[in-house]
Amino acid sequence: MNQIPSLFNYSDSRRFALQDRCAGNTMPSMLLTEILPRAAAQYPEKLAVCCGTVRMNYREVAQSVSRLGAVLTDLGVNPGDRVALLHRNCHRVLETYFAAVHTGAVLVPLNYRLAPGDLAYILDDTDSRVLIADSGWMELTEEAACRCKSGVRVLWSRVDGGASTDSYGTTIADASAAPLRDAGDREDDPVNIYYTSGTTGHQKGVVLTHRNIYSHALSTIAELRLSDSDVWAHVAPMFHLADAWATWAITWTGGRHVMAGRFDPPSVLKLIDAEHVTVTNLIPTMLNDLVNSADAGSYGYQSLRLVMSGGAPIAPRLVEKIIETFGCEYVQTYGLTETSPYLTFSLLKDHMRNLAPEEQFAYRAKTGRAALGVSLRIVDENGSDVARDGRAVGEILARGDRITPGYWKLPEATAEAISQGWFRTGDLATIDAEGYLNIVDRKKDAIITGGELVYTTEIENALYEHPAVLEAAVVGIPDERWGEIVKAAVVLKPAAHASATELIEHCRARLAHYKSPRIVEFLDALPRTGSGKIYKKALKETKS
């Protein structure tokens, strides 16, 4: 077995697990190995996965997972070893998540939008033994593997049915299925390592354990009232927790997984309607593309009961358009990779359903209240809780079973982020008397201009109210007189027109003048990180 950092000692955990069993300790554990076996036993013939022409029931999914587990073992993967995955959304991603758990391996989902050097860094940092790779990214994968110092064995997956580069498919077909096994993990053993987008410096590996993922899935099932009647659309990439959490929660309830291999708005809208999707979660940029698609009005979406947004702040005007387009309930979510991810939901309390529609909307568009199992504080620079008045701003601190134990092999970064059980999110927010948070900015993105503190989210929301604006992002850029000035980067809707002066005056009519942009840059598209979020650092570097 590869050497594991002392923070995660596998041999000790298995010894203690054996001692617990020998001592007759029958307390239930929060282990992910119970999820798929339960679904296969409760819903063996129920349709579990729709992925293109592939249709699998839960019995078949369990058999495929068992076969993949046998293949990984034959390739020398031992409990505690890392297995990397670079793949578009597909039933094979679902299988790999579960096969890693049932072999005791730690899965490292890779972002296929990263450069080869970034991927090589992650493979080396985790000392991954096997890389399951979509052959659609063969050139990217081969270059990344060649740059690895530690070496990694690639298991190719071809999702279009071809066999020439489908070692995944052929080896799984030849492997024998056996009952899914418990690898002997304990609750605090790592299950996944997700790497942050890396907007500054080297990426950090966020470790998530059985306890983290299990507690999050159970809480979210209760909050969203997920059941075996639900159909989840995997549209956001499954290497990102905005979607990957549903791998566990939907399977646990016996729901159905529908895979969107690529994000193409017309195809996704058609898929939601044709596959009778009931619930999904997308990042704001994806939702913006969907509701502004020419095909948005072509379908009824009768089955859709809930659309959620997460991964980045969202403008209230976009929330309005989502509700208008899909005609279903909308819930705002907030969380981070380090929190598994959800910390809040903008679900209405029962008495709020008697409020006037505009008041209900105001709450739906907020960041939301703490999820079950989560403790939140909003603190000022002295560490004191801010007033619950919806105006005082502070940093969000979070505590609960879903919080990461730390960053992979980075004890100093872990100590900086987590103190006395509280995780510092780096996000600034207000909290009101009902306990609903509203994020105003990332701590690092707030602008100080002429001594005044400006929150970029407020300006972006104002820009989204202009009918010509498709997307907008605001940053501060250095200025000799003011320290920083406000710059807006704007993408206009097709065939729409607006001048910089017009947009500045539009903002000044809604905001204090010092908050309004002094510079407006028009772009064909906003730069994005690998996870699809707007990359503000790049906007500061562009010419104005």
* Tens-place pLDDT, residues 428-442: 999 999 999 998 888
* Tokens read off for 532: 């699809």
384, β-bridge pairs: none
* Tokens read off for 443: 């701590």
Residue 350 CB burial class (10 angstroms; 0-12, 13-18, ≥19): exposed
Q: Could you read off the pLDDT of 419-477 as tens digits, one per residue?
A: 999 999 999 999 999 999 998 888 888 888 877 778 888 899 999 999 999 999 999 88
DSSP classification of residue 196? P
- Say how far apart CA 173 and CA 338 lie, in whole Å: 36
Q: Could you read off the pLDDT of 506-516 as tens digits, one per residue?
A: 999 998 888 99
Cβ neighbour number for residue 541 with a 10 Å cutoff: 11
Contact (CB, 8 A) for 63 and 177: yes
b/e map 483-512, b = 16+ CB within 10 Å: ebbbbbbbbbeeeeebeeeebbebbeeebe
Q: pLDDT at position 543, please? A: 52
Contact (CB, 8 A) for 464 and 493: no
- Say how far apart CA 230 and CA 213 lie, in whole Å: 20
> 166: closest CA among 189, 138, 139?
138
Residue 89 CB burial class (10 angstroms; 0-12, 13-18, ≥19): buried
- Say how far apart CA 279 and CA 257 lie, in whole Å: 10
Residue % of the chain over a pLDDT of 70: 91
Sheet holding 190-195, edge to edge: 153-157, 130-134, 82-86, 106-109, 190-195, 205-209, 406-407
Sign of the dihedral through C-alpha 353, 357, 362, 367: positive
- Say how far apart CA 482 and CA 499 lie, in whole Å: 24
Residue 164: which pLDDT band, with cuts at 50, 70 and 90? low
DSSP classification of residue 337? G
- Say how far apart CA 142 and CA 305 lie, in whole Å: 42
- Say how far apart CA 282 and CA 326 lie, in whole Å: 13
* Tokens read off for 343: 């910390």
Q: pLDDT at position 160, please? A: 64
Q: Which of 60-69, 112-121, 190-199, 232-241 has the lowest mean pLDDT?
A: 190-199
- CA distances from residue 92 to 56, 114, 142, 249, 259 in whole angstroms, order as listed: 11, 21, 20, 17, 10
Query: For the residues 128-136, what does the mean pLDDT come to?
Result: 95
Residue % of the chain over a pLDDT of 90: 72
> 44: closest CA among 214, 174, 180?
180
SS3 assignment, position 472: strand
- Say how far apart CA 162 and CA 181 lie, in whole Å: 31
Contact (CB, 8 A) for 408 and 125: yes
Domains of the chain: residue spans and CATH: 1-208 (3.40.50.12780), 263-444 (3.40.50.12780), 445-541 (3.30.300.30)
SS3 assignment, position 475: strand
Rounded to the nearest angstrom, the gap between the alpha carbon of residue 389 and the centroid of all alpha carbons in its chain is 30
Enter the pTM of the model.
0.84
- Say how far apart CA 61 and CA 35 lie, in whole Å: 12
